[in-house]
Amino acid sequence: MEKIWAPWRMEYIFSEKKNGCIFCEKSKEKEDKKNYILFRDTFGFVMMNIFPYNNAHLMIAPYRHAASLEDLPPEELAQMMILVTKSLSGLKKIIKADGYNIGMNIGSIAGAGIADHMHIHIVPRWLGDTNFMPILAETKVLPQHLDTTFEILQPFFDLNKE
């Protein structure tokens, strides 16, 4: 069995968690650049992960505070998949990764850092994006600053507002 190590995530795991929900709070603030929100739609939005597994790690979340897929009505579920598709298209066009992990963690035992508000992750992957640094030095090397990634991705999402 192959093991995947991500020790840099411990900073997030052990960090003090604020009360409240980051997805609910950040989506209400209307400070999209500061909060790394790339796109808003009727029922949900696309946000960059500030504790990314890889460069350009995105999260798609509904505005509705819901813990799981079955807690969303059909039209909101459909829009989540449309936002995943739109985000994937943008990443393929701009980031040009070799592949993508797309998934969800439902419940804290399944790895959900924010268990009360479902969200979908898109993690770009490149050949060779894993190396010795996380294992030996507990350091994850991200080749691009979050602000730079936001500036590169934002024009794609601006062009695709309907």
Of 60-64, 68-72, 116-120, 141-145, the range with the lowest mean pLDDT is 141-145
Domain for residue 15, yes or no?
Answer: no
Identify the band that residue 5 occupies on the pLDDT scale cut at 50, 70 and 90: low
Domain for residue 121, yes or no?
Answer: yes
Query: Phi, psi (5° rounding) for residue 81?
Result: -70, -35
As for how many domains the chain has, the answer is 1
pLDDT tens-digit series, residues 8-46: 566 666 777 667 899 999 999 989 999 999 999 999 999
pTM of the model: 0.80
- Measured CA distances, 63 to 23, 66, 131, 157 (Å): 7, 9, 36, 18
Domain for residue 28, yes or no?
Answer: yes
Tell me, what's the pLDDT at 129? Answer: 66
Domain for residue 76, yes or no?
Answer: yes
138 vs 68, residue with greater confidence: 68
In angstroms, the CA 76 to CA 59 distance is: 15
pLDDT tens-digit series, residues 96-142: 999 999 999 988 888 888 889 999 999 998 887 665 444 444 545 56
Q: Look up the CATH number of the domain holding residue 145.
A: 3.30.428.10
In angstroms, the CA 12 to CA 25 distance is: 18
Q: Which domain holds residue 31?
A: 21-157
